[in-house]
Amino acid sequence: MAEVSEVLMSVLSTIRVPRPGDRVHKDECALSFSSPESEGGLYVCMNSFLGFGSQYVDRHHTRSGQRAYLHISRSRKAPVRIEGGFNVEQEQYEEEVKVVLLPDRQEVTSDDLATMPDVVRERVSLAMAGLMSADSVSHALQVQQWDGEVRAESRHAIELKQLNNGTKIPPCGWRCEVCDLQENLWMNLSDGRVFCGRRYFDGSGGNNHALLHFQQTGHPLAVKLGTITPDGADVYSYDEDDMVLDPKLPEHLSHFGIDMMTMEKTEHTMTELEIAVNQRVGEWEVIQESGATLQPLSGPGLTGMKNLGNSCYLNSVMQVLFTVPDFQSKSVTVYHFYLLAKLGYGLLSGEYSKPAPDPGEGSEPSSEPRGDQVGIAARMFKALVGRGHPEFSTNRQQDAQEFLLHFINMVERNCRSGVNPSEAFRFLVEERIVCQQSQKAKYTQRVDYILQLPVPMDQATNTEELQEAERRREEADSSGAPPPAPVRACIPFTACMAALSEPETLTDFWSSAAQAKTTATKTTRFASFPDHMVIQVKKFTFGQDWVPKKLDVSIDVPDTLDLTALRGTGQQPGEDLLPEVAPPPLMTPDAEVKGILGSHGNEEDDSLYSPLLSPVLDDSTVSQLCEMGFPLEACRKAVYYTGNTGIDAAMNWVMGHMDDPDFSAPLVLPGTSSAPGTTPTESFSEEHLATIVSMGFSRDQATRALRATSNVLERAVDWIFSHLDDLESMEVSEGGRSAADSEGSREPPPGPKVRDGPGKYELFAFISHMGTSTMCGHYVCHIKKDQQWVIFNDQKVCASEKPPKDLGYLYFYRRVTE
């Protein structure tokens, strides 16, 4: 021990005590998914506070010269069951902590430190205690990201009138005053009376007596007994028909003798209860194949992912992406994007595809295979891809389709040279617009990654059954009876494809041939077919009140798909094209134009002339959007870019551009490079320029696209693909030469980097969503591996017996090569 003491003394200056703000990585290895629960435990450098698994700690020691590491290992023991009330099982761990000195791996325990010199004992003990008490990076991120369910403060809470009727509520033993139920009980905060909650359509819940009491008395707020803790409780407003916040809850509870600080949770919260009910019925049970005993699987490519708190959307998307060869090879070859490589190795190697350890002795053995794995926890990866994003940086549930596009955009930005795996999904869309007055056509192309499939509800094959279900629901609403079980609409896949391919009517199309607004038809076709086709079923929509809702539909999605008939053919023989003439600007009748110079010109130089000085905007539409909570400038842009065509079109524009970096920026009119009243500039984001150049275009072409779209990357990409013909004759902006001057020395523009081939595909994966909207619920994915469907449900990986292909949300097809 004297030798070890000498070694510690020699490295004492490198041992640090964590300070506030230090990032301590004590949950996950920086280079793998090893954790304190893994075999060999985790080694935390006592200088940098980085964590390393047993297979990587020697490498870190060799490269950094650090010798002192805090070794943390945990083994799971039997769970402790709390008696009485709401049963809660909590995993308990036996933890061993010691200092390990490399390269000889000499071990020092807390007891060993007691025999060492004071200076060594004090410094090392403080460092050990500081590391163990410090919040890990993953925990800090969870606290920072988690905001739970967002509830509004009730308008009744502050001025709530409480009756002085002498009622005092005991801390337990509650019963409904009408039916003697002892669970799902709600205490009215006005009079202290206790009644049971609502009955659910599956027969569970209560008998609606709390609701009936509100209807009789008008007392609006009730608290769910059993959910009261020092941190809060479930409060429902019958008048506002929603879960709410009561900032004066401690005072309101104290009025009836309830000390909030001494209460313990003994009942499910409403969120927990909603999940439990959904899991028993409907799509939850079908999608997760809950009724079957599924065979657990393990091995390379069969690794589960831990749910980090509503991260199932990320888990499902990444599981599918790493079955695509482009992403499999990218994860191995690109070291500079090491977190992607780390995730790829974790999912594909099979190293972490091991059954989760048994809970321990003392627990009841299960006769059925559990399917849970040790799996991987992609904490660092989630933090990376969500950094700076208003939604993906939180722990709220998200839309898997939006995350897929967000991740593809990240890959595009980080793969400007070399192989780009997102090209596996990239394709070109051809849009053909025909003016009905002149019968002349216009062709444009745009890039896309996902085919959005409409759901024509009017084509349901079980219309009579749906109408009967709606009649029973209305009867239940009027009588106060529990609602009937929902009926799912059955929509043929052929009807969805027909809706996709049928022409769209444009009622306010400005025809350059007629020099007026007229009617046109727009037909959408494929200009190229990607190696892998992603199809999104448009299940999520908006009601008439703009509240998001999900369509509960079953679609007979096929295993094989032939899109050949949807390939675009371009300009037809004898077909005349619309002239390339810009539409007239929207002008106010009394707009004052200063000569021909406009607001930015002068007598010597009118190069900054812009005729678009005072656009006419429908004030009522702008006001309606503002009342919904959107920024004023965003509302003005929505009305402008949709040509004053009404609230529906403007709202669709808002929903499609909410993630634009300039969403709230002032409206910049085409032909100007700055907002009115400012000095115009020619400054474009280098990152945006590099992204467009990486897609095969020149810097001049990228600059022109950004100039035409106010420096918004997404719109610039759409613009450049819709103006490919114009780009061939564009002027060189930096050299002062025209295209004609350098015709002999310039190569023709290469165009977009897209792969093309036959339009025949086979289904290899699909992602399903359970819940009422993208803001809640759960995602799982099914992937076909070696002709066997496999379900990936976070950490559970099993052979699928009845893959619910008709209930998917995102479908992934790969090209069939003949």
Q: Is 809 annotated as a binding residue?
A: no
**8 A C-beta contact, residue 636 and residue 644:** no
**Catalytic site includes residue 61:** no
Q: Tell me the helix, strand and coil percentages in the chain, rounded to 5.
A: 30, 20, 50
Residue 809 vs residues 454, 523, 550, 780: alpha-carbon distances, Å: 12, 25, 11, 10
Q: Is 415 annotated as a binding residue?
A: no
Q: Is 199 annotated as a binding residue?
A: yes
Catalytic residue among 778, 781, 782, 798: 778
Which element (helix H / strand E) includes 45? Answer: strand 42-45
Q: How many CB atoms are located within 10 Å of the residue 299 CB?
A: 12
Strand-strand pairing, 89-101 and 68-81: antiparallel
Place of tokens 């093309």: 756
Catalytic residue among 29, 45, 312, 798: 312
Residue 443 vs residues 440, 722, 724, 756: alpha-carbon distances, Å: 10, 8, 10, 19
Q: Is 176 annotated as a binding residue?
A: yes
**8 A C-beta contact, residue 246 and residue 260:** no
Q: Is 779 annotated as a binding residue?
A: no
Three-state SS at 163: coil
Which residues share a beta bridge with 108?
A: 99
Q: Is 200 annotated as a binding residue?
A: yes
Q: Is 609 annotated as a binding residue?
A: no
Amino acid at 332: V
CA angle, residues 293, 296, 298, in degrees to nearest 5: 170
Closest CA to 690 of 703, 681, 707: 703
Q: Is 29 annotated as a binding residue?
A: no
Residue 371 vs residues 284, 294, 402, 438: alpha-carbon distances, Å: 18, 8, 29, 64
**Catalytic site includes residue 778:** yes
DSSP string spanning 684-717?
A: --HHHHHHHHTTT--HHHHHHHHHHTTT-HHHHH
Closest CA to 249 of 221, 269, 272, 217: 221
- Token pair for residue 193? 């009376």
CA dist., res. 481 & res. 664, Å (int): 47
Residue 708 CB contacts under 8 Å (≥ 6 apart), including other chains: 670, 716, 719
Q: What is the Rg, in whole angstroms, of the alpha carbon atoms belonging to the chain?
A: 32
- Token pair for residue 325? 């060869």
Q: Is 196 annotated as a binding residue?
A: yes
b/e sequence 300-311, b meaning 16+ C-beta within 10 Å? ebbbbbbbbbbb
Closest CA to 85 of 180, 183, 203: 183
430 backbone dihedrals φ, ψ, rounded to 5°? -100, 125
Q: Is 811 annotated as a binding residue?
A: no
CA dist., res. 503 & res. 501, Å (int): 6
As annotated, the binding site for substrate includes 186, 198-201, 236, 238, 241
As annotated, the binding site for Zn(2+) includes 176, 179, 196, 209
* Catalytic (active-site) positions: 312, 778
As annotated, the binding site includes 176, 179, 186, 196, 198-201, 209, 236, 238, 241
